[in-house]
Structure formats: structure tokens, C-alpha cells
A and B are shown apart, each in its own frame.
Chain A
Amino acid sequence: MLTDEVGQGGTPAVGPGNSTGHRGGASQNLVQLITPQGERVSHPEYDPWVRDISDEQLGSLYEDMVVIRRIDAEATALQRQGELALWPPLLGQEAAQIGSARTLRDDDFVFPSYRDNGVAYCRGVRPEDLVRAWRGNASAGWDPFTVNVATQQIIIGAQSLHATGYAMGIQNDGADCVAVAYFGDGATSEGDVNEAMVFAASFQAPVVFFCQNNHWAISEPVRLQSHIHLADRASGFGIPSIRVDGNDVLAVMAATRIALDRARRGGGPTFIEAVTYRMGPHTTADDPTRYRDANELEDWAAKDPISRVKSLLDRKGLLTADLEAAVAAKADAVAKELRAGTINMPEPEPLDIFKHVYSTPNSWLDRQQDHYSRYLASFGDPAGANSEEGAR
């Protein structure tokens, strides 16, 4: 059991867990299948949902988590080296993202926040596409329909409504896929997330609200956002919820599978609170030492999602030198690809600024484009046209 069983507002957790939240309302125990020490603990309700995870698959989950941590480190380094304008690290949230994203089907559709790079990685987004927007070369890195992932959402919580609307469309189509909204604890204070839950409950839409409670919304602690467990908010909307140890990849998988299964069978939405911790800054632009206690970070470092699964593999005798080497090689290769893809990313053309504002031509904009292209041409020298100082 994690140590934060005291409610976020200092309210002690009450009563026995109602972990799948079928009745909702009660403060829920944290679902955990792997202890921070890497011990596999049994849970009658959740074990069946991950019984099929073989040793090999466990190794693969470990690999994914190591790889996305490496992507994160590499992107942070690229930012420090001036290659990216900004980067939002996910350090510490690897189990929440891998555990949930690896349970999705290809035809499910994900609506992520800007921090869900691990989720995007699982869906097949290329490493350089993860940083395209942060480098400033595009507003978004990928075509949503090639990977069934909407582009990274910057407005907090806005995507929860998009997921819900998409799920209403799934419902109309009679399909059994699911829309998944990823957002953080801060987003639960936003109107959009609350309205999304109203709509999802009213229409019983096949949507999963996957909230990564990483405890901090930039500098604001979760206790400023909520005096109850975030998962408990869902019952007020009539939405069943699960409060899961977000640093436990197997528990996250089980919880997500329960939610997806419910949605596919017409059971409507589920709210998952994955209790985790953002070990780094909100983005490379802030300094967490100004707003949080070093002891807190230390406490959470002891619950690290990667060392936890690594210990489990070790206990099972699966942490072989071969596995370690293969995982390290994969992480190196992806990091190398990310770096090369970033540095060699083609620069956008000046007139690209006018592209795709509308799907059909717009005489207003065409005129502005025409005028600006004449202005650029007046320099004669294309390099001069790109210079902020200009040629005069």
C-alpha cells in the first residue's frame, strides 16, 4: 500500500475499498499488484485482468518504460542544448502511461495532454514527431488518423470533451472501440473535464477518463484542487471509478482493461485515477525546488515505477544480462533516432504560415500571403528575408 492513504485534504481514507467503484461514493483503496519493493501481491478482483501477461510481456513493459524514460531524458537534454524551446517531462509517470496505453486496441482513439508522450510512443508516434511542436517546427507533430491519437493538447482538460464527443460518435456508429482522455490532476478543476463527465454519464458514452494524479499542477499541489480523492469525484457524476497505484504497471493495466471492457460492452464511462508523481518539473521552464519539499521527492523516488518492475523481474529470475542489454540497446537506438530526427528536422518555409488556416481558399488570406510573398521577394536574397534584422 502506498503511503499517501491520507486524503488529499488531510481527510483520512474511510471504509473498505470499493475498488471497481460499481457503487461509487466511498473513498477507495489504492489498487496495487506490485509493491514498491517489487513484490507481486495478489488481488482477487484485479488479478484475472492481467493473468495473461507472460514473463516475456512483463519484460516488454519494462523495456517500454525504460525507453520512454530515455526519450524523456534525451528530449530534456535537447532542450538544455537549445534544440527544443520547451519540454514537459513525464519522469515518474512511465507505469501509468505504458500500463494504460499498452491495453488499447488500434481502433481505440486517444486524446492526450502535452505530457502523454509515453502514450503516443506506444501508439507508434515517431520519436521526432514527439518533439516537432516543442522545437517550433509545427503546431503538432503527427497526423491523428495514422496513429489514432489526437495531437497534444495544451489547453488543460479541453481534450476530455473531444474524447467524449468522439465516444458519442462511436456509439452512433455502433462500434465497440473506446475513446480515452488523458489529463492530469489539475485538469479536474477545469469546467471542461466536469462537463465531459456530465455528457459521458448522460449518454453513457464509451469513454475512459484516465487521470494521472501526479500531485502537482505546475506549482500547485493537488490538495489545492481537491479535498477528496479525485476518483471520488466521479461518483457525483454517476461514473464508476478506480483509484489505482499509478506507479504499478500491472495494476494500471488491470484497471484500464476493466474500464475498456465496460465501455466496449455498452457500460459507459469509467474514471481512473492513477496515483503517481511527477518527479521532474512541470516543464523545462520551471524549478520545482521553489515549490516542493525535497523529502517528498525522496519518498516518491522509493516508489519508482521502473525500479519496481525491475525488482519484480529480478525476483522472478527474469532480469538477465541479455534482457538488460537488449533494453539498453533499444533505448540507445530510440534516443539516437530522436536526436538525429530533431537536429535534421527540415525548417518550415516562410509561406507555410498561411497554409491550412481554412480548408478552402480565403480571399482575405490569399491577399495577405500575396503581399508578404512580394515583401519577401523584395529582398532578393532568401537568407535576408528570413533574418529578423532584415536587410536594410
Chain B
Amino acid sequence: MTQMTFARAINSGLRKSLENDPKVVLMGEDIGTLGGVFRVTDGLQKDFGKHRVVDTPLAEAGIMGTAVGLAYRGYRPVVEIQFDGFIYPAFDQIVSQVAKMHYRTQGAVKMPITVRVPFGGGIGSPEHHSESPEAYFTHTSGLRVVSPSSPQDAYTMIQQAISCDDPVLYFEPKRRYHDKGDVDETLEPGSALPLGNARVITDGRDVTLVAYGPLVKTARDAAIAAADEGVSIEVIDLRSLAPVDYAALEASVRKTGRLVITHEAGQSGGLGAELAASITERCFYYLETAPVRVTGFDVPYPYSKLEMHHLPSLDRILDGVDRALGRPNSLSGLEG
């Protein structure tokens, strides 16, 4: 076990992938000599050369579209989108090309592309630097969407994403980059929890609380706080946003009868809506109450002095738990 930051764990996972497979190529803006704006790719160009770790021109569609061509040629590109809000210029290449190529060619052309997206808020950034665009991609067939929440998962999941023959969007919770944790670098990606599986972070009996990426830590803190009040929360780290490990969610909800979902993205059409609907379909007779969502608001990501109001906090999550439990909460007395 080695103590390392989240960012360092991704770096270490990328290094492993570069070592193990000569077809792995990293591409992105500033990822070479600078080591990325968050230093996630620090030192990799120096050790693997400019053809394995490519500083690209500043053009997101260009990065994504050339990655498609490299995949055609048998490479496994790992693309860095510098910030969440910069992914939109690459949107067409991702949803019309990367996602559909395997289907379009009836399996002849694989797109083993990993798209690394530092995402989410909480770091006091200006506009376009704190967004949670995951639902655009979970809505697109052919893409896998994942988000690690701990250094250990960051380390293994990046390697699993790179070795996956499907395109994977790998959403990195940037406000957790500097969090430290134990990482077992001897853990082989093949023997770790598979990429598509959710994980129970804390066992509980009263409420199932589903989170992913940056909010897993907040959700766990909420569970600890709730325990002091005698409420037992089962926190599930979704890990894979598409496809969702419904078996894990169903098992938990059948036990607790209550579901709270939290994410930073706005509520309407968000992943929480999908989880709530799907779990309701699958576990309707087990649910004691309607699923509850604690999410960002349906507003453009606010300027940083207000972002603490937008981001689900420990207290807002606990308020949601109270709603699920029918305990007094901020909406008590409100009809509907």
C-alpha cells in the first residue's frame, strides 16, 4: 500500500497502461511538458516520449476525431479534455462517431478510447470549469461512463477503462484530486472490482443513498453524521454511470425500502431521474416512499461565491434522507 493523492493515483494507473501496452497513446492540451493543468500526466511524456504522450493543438473536436482515426489504426487513445465545460466542441465526435462506430460497422471497428474529463465543482473556478455533463453521455448508447471516487479506484479504473474495447468516459472528480488514500499498486485491474460494478461503501438498513464521483465522500460523511442520530444509511458508490449496476441498487433498496440519490448535475433529465424511475419500476413494492433526489439546481453552474448553495452538501443530503424517512425536514407541510 502506498499513500497517494487521487491525481497521483491516476498518473500511476496511466503509467502502468503505457508500460503494459505499446498501443496506448495519451493525447490532450498541455498534457506533455506541463504534465496537465492538474499535473495528472506529470512526467509521462518525459518517460514515454512525445509520440506516446502527445501535446495536441487546442481543438477538442480535433483531439477526439484524431483519436477515432488512431483507434481505426489499432491504437488505444486516452484523451484528456482539460475541463468539463470544454467537452462540448468534441460532442459530435463523441456521440456521432466514437459511440456509434462499433454499431455502425457491426462490430468490425472497435473504439477503445478513454476520455478523461476532470469534472464537477467546488474549486472556485470561473465559468466552464465546474460542470457535470455526464447525463449527455449516459444518454448516448455505445458509451460507457464511469467516475471513480477514491485513489484506489482511480488507479484501477483508469487501467480497466483503457483496456476496455468500448469507449469509456472517465469523469474525474477534480475537487478530490488532492485527497489522499491508500493505493495497492500491485492490484491487477483484472482481479479488482469490474468497471461496471457499484460498491457498497457503508452498510445500512434505513435508507439507500446513491452517489458517485465527488459526492461519495460527502455521502459517506452524511452517513457518519446520521449514525449519531440513529439513522443507518447504506451508501452506494455507483462507479459506473452507464451501464448502471442495477443488481446492486435493487439489492440495497429491497433491504432499506428507501432511496436517496445525489449528484452535482442539475435535476431535470439528470442521472438521478433515470435511477429513480428504474428503481421504481424494479422495486416498486419494496419502496416505502418515493425516491428522493438531492442535486444541483437547474441553473447554469453559478459563479464561485454561490457554488456552495448549488452543490449538494452534507446537510442538504441529510435533509433529503429525512424526506425519505418521513422525518421533519425543510419541505415538511408542503403538499406534493
Interface set of A (CB-CB < 8 Å, partner B): 109, 111, 138-140, 143-145, 150-151, 155, 158, 160-173, 179, 191-192, 195-196, 198-199, 202, 355-360, 362-365
Contact = CB atoms under 8 A, between A and B. Distances in A.
Contacts of A158: 65, 92-93, 96-97
A179 B25 contact: no
B61 A140 contact: no
A173 B73 contact: yes
Given A191-B89, A195-B59, A168 B66 contact: yes
B103 A356 contact: yes
A165 B70 contact: yes
B69 interface: yes
Contacts of A140: 104-106
A151 B70 contact: no
A161 B77 CA distance: 14
Contacts of A170: 73
Given A144-B72, A166-B72, A357-B103, A362 B243 contact: yes
Contacts of A191: 61, 89
A161 B142 contact: no
A196 B106 CA distance: 26
Interface of B: 25, 51, 54, 56-57, 59, 61-62, 64-75, 77, 89, 92-93, 96-97, 100, 102-110, 141-142, 144, 164-166, 196, 242-247
Interface centre among B61, B110, B247 (most CB of A within 10 A): B61
A138 B61 contact: no
Contact of B69 (A143, A163, A360): A163
A138 B104 CA distance: 8
B247 A155 contact: no
B26 to A, nearest CB: 13
Contacts, number: 146
Contacts of B57: 195, 198-199, 202
Nearest to B58: A198
Contacts of B141: 357, 365
Nearest to A133: B104
Determine which residue in B66, B105, B144, B196 has the highest number of CB atoms from chain A within 10 A of its CB, and name it.
B66
Contacts of B62: 161, 164, 192, 195-196, 198-199
Q: Is the interface of A mostly helix, strand, loop or mixed?
A: helix
Contacts of B107: 355-356, 359
Given A166-B69, A199-B62, A360 B104 contact: no
7 contacts: A139-B103, A155-B96, A162-B68, A165-B70, A165-B72, A357-B142, A362-B243
Contacts of B97: 155, 158, 162
Given A161-B93, A165-B67, 4 more contacts: A138-B106, A143-B105, A162-B68, A196-B62
A192 B72 CA distance: 17
A202 B59 CA distance: 12
A155 B64 CA distance: 15
A161 B66 contact: yes
B130 to A, nearest CB: 25
Nearest to A359: B165
A391 to B, nearest CB: 26
A356 B103 CA distance: 5
Contacts of B77: 165
A210 to B, nearest CB: 16
Given A161-B62, A164-B65, A169-B75, A363 B92 contact: no
Most chain B beta-carbon contacts within 10 A, residue among A143, A163, A195: A195
B105 A358 contact: no
Contacts of B109: 144-145, 150
